[in-house]
Structure 1
Amino acid sequence: MDSPDAVIARLAAAPLAHTEQLIVLRDGEVLAEHSFHGGDPDEPAAVKSVTKSVLATVALLAVADGVLDLDDTLGRLLGSRVPGHRRDVTVRHLLTMTGGSEPALDLRGLEPANWLDHLLALPRIAPPGTVFAYDNAAVHVLAGALRTVVGDIDAFAAERILAPAGITRWNWPRDPEGVNWGGAGLELSAKSLAALGELWRTDRLGLGTLLSEATGERVRPGGGDPRGFGYLFWVDVYAASPVFLASGFGGQKVCVARDLGVTVVLTGDVERLSPDGGDNGDVLPGLVAWAAKR
């Protein structure tokens, strides 16, 4: 159990000095808030792979609306543009990073005007559902598939997720075809991330068992990583309580301990990352334990 003062001191020094913002809430009340390097908690910035968890929430809402099934295949959703070796990959496979295609983490160098066709053509390296592989390409394919059932993804997210959370300032880039980036790119402020964490914690979207399924362990990544993985959420245990995390490169974290009523947000500046590769997420277990006792 670490007090915010002790944590702030750790985050201000190498190798965790890339941290920009810290917010800790218990039952919706702000217990601690700190800005590093003169940062503004109201200013949107790239939240990297936290985007994935927002996209997962879009998928869950589509399921709740009855326009999507987790076992819908790419072949059904995207039709003839899907090569034969990818047609049996399901939404559930993509949400759990078990789609079986060759991973592609950096999509910025893609030259084709149509990203989806390029990403769909990546070779199959394992049967779907058998191997976890962290994969930005698969999540962007998921975004393309979701667009066929919900329409414009950022318009859907704005109405169904961001507005209910009280979020009014945001940006979500698109690929050349108009598909919002699935794996990263969304820009939100630290306070908006806290509002998003509270939306998930309280399930104000009314997702019920779908949210519990998404934020529970569905697959074990392995490779020395002790965490579990749900539907584009990481899963762990802090203070003897289950937690789930939306996590992005460079220190972007939304950690939710629903049973304890705790939400913790961290943001980071990738330009300040230490060569030592420090992970500011290391402070989360102690902060959750501290907040749970307040």
Structure 2
Amino acid sequence: MTTLGGAALPRSEPAEQGVDAAGIDAFVTAAGALSGVELHSLMVLRHGHVVAEQWWPPYEPETPHLVYSLSKSFTSTALGLAVGEGRVDLDATVLSYFPELDAAVTDERSRSIRVRHVAAMASGHEDDTIERARKAGDGDLLRGFLRLPPDREPGTVFAYNQPCTHALSAIIHRVSGESLTAYLRPRLFEPLGIIRSGWSRDPQGRELGYSGLHVPTEAIAKLGQLYLRNGAWADRQLLSPQWVQEATHAHLPTDIPEPDWDQGYGFQFWRSRHGYRGDGAYGQFMLILPEADAVVAITSQSEDMQGLLDAVWTHLLPALTADAPPARAWTPATATLPLPEAAGPQPARTPVTLRPGAGNELPGLHTVRLTTGPDEIRLLDGSAELVAALGAPGEWTSTGPLTTASAWNDSRLHVDVIFVETPHRLHLRLDPAAGTFEARWQTWPLGGPPLSQLRTPS
């Protein structure tokens, strides 16, 4: 069996770690029955062992997945490392790291925002300033953020504010001379065996920090295990226990209606009704459960994130603390994501070029082409063209970061395109007779990036 010292997580049968496999099955079934919830991967750890893992094809274990705001917990870890190295002082002002902005930042509250304030989403602003900050900084998010006067004294109010996290990324870049990824590589990624990753950057070349990280599911599980063990990995103390405690306890109340978002906020970690977590849009979760000595990593395309957490607490958490679980193996049920449904005759494919129809929801997608010999679909989005093999009815066909499946239904060719390095699926309805197509997202990619950017950044 491999060990943590070898970077790979050890595997074990659930009962060997006191876990009831029936509860894992119950969670997967309950999650699958929730409206708007689509699981892409699941890893469950107890006592440091992986007791359950499953991927829903076409998603695969080695594929990096956009984790949205779960990126923040990786940024927080970089901050903890920099604090431990004496590079960053939590009580220093953010402005002190950017003296070139001193003359541009005149508001006293802005000048008094400390590193610990932005780490805790407590800059004094009462809402997310990202759009206003971009405008105020002429595209420089950090500059714009510091030029927006806080509504209240820094440190006194919580507001989930993306530029707070971006400020941490900028500080790490400034004190280390490296990007977040380069800084984390020898300190976190290499010790944990995280090989594949990518992080989106802003126009100034800084990695976003607040979002944009792509990592495989096991990287999420490993970071959770590092925090569960108070910063220790095998025989190395990568993070100080003091940092783990500081980063994961509630600094301010959050006052958000959903029960698992109303437990307080740490340094880029949410408190939960059970333990604490990193999370990202559409159901990317890293759940750290000290009461069960467990970690749960989930990637998904889920609009009901609270419902997904409720299913964890109802079905999975009791299974992680079973007194005498049945001694049976856990075998994941065969699973795949829904495919386009075929109805009526399935005509032979012919080459065709299509223009947007009245129901098209993607203004940038101006042309769709079908070719034969080979069967391909070509998406022209702005000046970029994406090309993928066209999947046959009842199967997924992968071409790099794109996976497709198709079927004729109501005299139209229904094509689904999954961007497998993200949570997102594009539904295309092609009408060759009319020469038009319609396109809509199952869930909208945040920020509205071009289709060509829906993959792991190099």
Instruction: Give the alignment's Cα RMSD to 1 decimal.
Output: 2.3
Does the alignment pair 1:266 with 2:302?
Answer: no
Q: Which moved more, 1:144-153 or 1:88-97?
A: 144-153
Contact 1:16 1:280 in 2 (8 A): no
Does the alignment pair 1:280 with 2:302?
Answer: no
Quote the residue 2:264 is aligned against.
228
Does the alignment pair 1:114 with 2:140?
Answer: yes
| C-alpha distance in structure 2 between counterparts of 1:282 and 1:175, whole Å | 35
The Cα of 1:40 is off from its aligned counterpart by 1.1
Distance verdict in 2 for CA 1:110–1:75, change over 3 Å: closer
Contact 1:24 1:31 in 2 (8 A): yes
The Cα of 1:162 is off from its aligned counterpart by 1.4
Does the alignment pair 1:18 with 2:38?
Answer: yes
Quote the residue 1:94 is aligned against.
118
The superposition leaves residues 163-219 of structure 1 with CA deviations (integer Å, 9 ceiling, x where unpaired) of: 121100000111111111021000011122112211222222141111111111221
> Which residue, out of 35, 58, 80, partners 1:60?
80
Alignment of structure 1 residues 158-197 onto 2, 5 Å: 158-197=185-224
The Cα of 1:277 is off from its aligned counterpart by 6.7
Identity %: 29
TM-score between the two structures when normalised by the length of structure 2: 0.58
The Cα of 1:247 is off from its aligned counterpart by 0.7
TM-score between the two structures when normalised by the length of structure 1: 0.89
Distance verdict in 2 for CA 1:109–1:81, change over 3 Å: closer
Does the alignment pair 1:36 with 2:56?
Answer: yes
> Which residue, out of 140, 144, 157, partners 2:184?
157
| C-alpha distance in structure 2 between counterparts of 1:197 and 1:107, whole Å | 31
Q: Which residue type is aligned with residue 226 of structure 1?
A: D
Normalized per residue, the structure richer in strand is 2
Quote the residue 1:139 is aligned against.
165
| C-alpha distance in structure 2 between counterparts of 1:109 and 1:277, whole Å | 28
State the secondary structure of the residue aligned to 1:253.
strand
Q: Which residue type is aligned with residue 298 of structure 2?
A: L
Does the alignment pair 1:210 with 2:243?
Answer: yes
The Cα of 1:37 is off from its aligned counterpart by 4.8
State the secondary structure of the residue aligned to 1:211.
helix
The Cα of 1:61 is off from its aligned counterpart by 0.8
Contact 2:165 2:210 in 1 (8 A): yes
Distance verdict in 2 for CA 1:14–1:126, change over 3 Å: same
Bigger relative CO (Cα 8 Å, ≥ 6 apart): 1
Distance verdict in 2 for CA 1:105–1:186, change over 3 Å: farther
The Cα of 1:140 is off from its aligned counterpart by 0.9
Quote the residue 1:201 is aligned against.
228
Contact 2:27 2:312 in 1 (8 A): no
Contact 1:262 1:288 in 2 (8 A): no
Q: Which residue type is aligned with residue 172 of structure 1?
A: W
Quote the residue 1:84 is aligned against.
106
Contact 2:88 2:175 in 1 (8 A): yes
Gaps of 5+ in 1: none
The superposition leaves residues 42-65 of structure 1 with CA deviations (integer Å, 9 ceiling, x where unpaired) of: 210110111111111111111111
Alignment of structure 1 residues 218-257 onto 2, 5 Å: 218-224=251-257, 225-238=261-274, 243-257=275-289
Distance verdict in 2 for CA 1:69–1:190, change over 3 Å: same
The superposition leaves residues 84-114 of structure 1 with CA deviations (integer Å, 9 ceiling, x where unpaired) of: 2211101110011110136436669947353
State the secondary structure of the residue aligned to 2:191.
coil
Q: Which has the larger radius of gyration?
A: 2
Contact 2:129 2:145 in 1 (8 A): no
Q: Which residue type is aligned with residue 240 of structure 2?
A: L
Count of residues in correspondence between the two structures: 286
| C-alpha distance in structure 2 between counterparts of 1:103 and 1:147, whole Å | 25
Superposed structure 1 runs of 4+ greater than 6 Å apart: none
Contact 2:130 2:141 in 1 (8 A): no
| C-alpha distance in structure 2 between counterparts of 1:234 and 1:96, whole Å | 10
The superposition leaves residues 15-46 of structure 1 with CA deviations (integer Å, 9 ceiling, x where unpaired) of: 25322111111012111222235421321011
Q: Which residue type is aligned with residue 7 of structure 1?
A: F
Gaps of 5+ in 2: 1-19, 233-237, 326-458
State the secondary structure of the residue aligned to 1:43.
coil
Quote the residue 1:127 is aligned against.
153
State the secondary structure of the residue aligned to 1:97.
coil
